[in-house]
Amino acid sequence: MSTLFSHFFEKNNKIAPQEAEYTEVLDTIALVPKMLYFYGKIPEKRVKTVAIVGTRRPTEYGREVAYQLGLAAAQAGAVVVSGLAYGLDSVAHRAALDAGGVTLAVLGTPIDEIYPRAHERLAAEIVEKGGAVLSELAPGEVYHRQACFLQRNRIIAGLADVVVIVEAAARSGSLNTAAHALEQGREVMAVPGDIRRPLSEGCNRLIRQGAMPCLGTEDLLEMLFPERRKRSRRAVEVVGESEAETAVLRELVKGGKDGAELLEKLGMEVAELNQTLTLLEIKGRVLALGANKWAFKQ
Question: Domain residues of the chain, as ranges?
Answer: 3-224, 243-296
Q: Under CATH, what is the fold of the domain 3-224?
A: Rossmann fold (3.40.50)
pLDDT of residue 118: 96
Distance CA 45, CA 56 (A): 31
Distance CA 298, CA 72 (A): 7
What percentage of the chain carries pLDDT values higher than 90?
72
- Identify the CA nearest to 174 among candidates 196, 194, 149: 149
Tell me the whole-structure pTM to 2 decimals: 0.76
Chain mean position to CA 120: 18
Peptide bond into 139 cis (omega under 30): no
pLDDT of residue 229: 62
Element (H, E) at 76: none
Note the pLDDT tens digit of each residue in 66-121: 999 999 999 999 999 999 999 999 999 999 999 999 999 999 999 999 999 999 99
Q: Each residue of 118-144: b (16+ CB within 10 Å) or e? A: ebbebbbbbbeeebbbbbbbeeeeebe
Band (pLDDT 50/70/90 cuts) for residue 235 is: very low
- Identify the CA nearest to 106 among candidates 58, 56, 68, 51: 51
Q: Does domain 243-296 have CATH number 3.40.50.300?
A: no
